[in-house]
Amino acid sequence: MPFNAKAVANEFLRLAESEKRPLTPMALIKLVYFAHGWYLALKGEPLLNEQVEAWKYGPVIPSLYHEFKEFGNEAITRLAHDERTFRENGKFIIGRTTPELEDDDAKKVVRRVWDVYKPLSAVQLSNLTHTPGSPWDTTPNKEIKGTDISNETIRQYFLVLARQNAARRHQNEQQPA
Please list the pLDDT of the chain residue by residue as tens digits (177 residues): 799 999 999 999 999 999 999 999 999 999 999 999 999 999 999 999 999 999 988 999 999 999 999 999 999 999 998 876 656 677 766 666 777 889 999 999 999 999 999 999 999 999 999 999 999 999 998 888 889 999 999 999 999 999 988 877 766 666 665
Q: Tell me how far the alpha carbon of residue 55 is from its chain's centroid.
A: 15
With b for 16 or more beta-carbon neighbours within 10 A and e for fewer, the 64-97 pattern comes to beebbeebeeeebeebbeeeeeeeeeeeeeeeee
Counting the structural domains of the chain, the total is 1
User: What is the value of pTM for the model shown?
Assistant: 0.89
Residue 10 neighbours by CB distance under 10 Å: 21
Which residues form the domain of 75?
Answer: 5-174
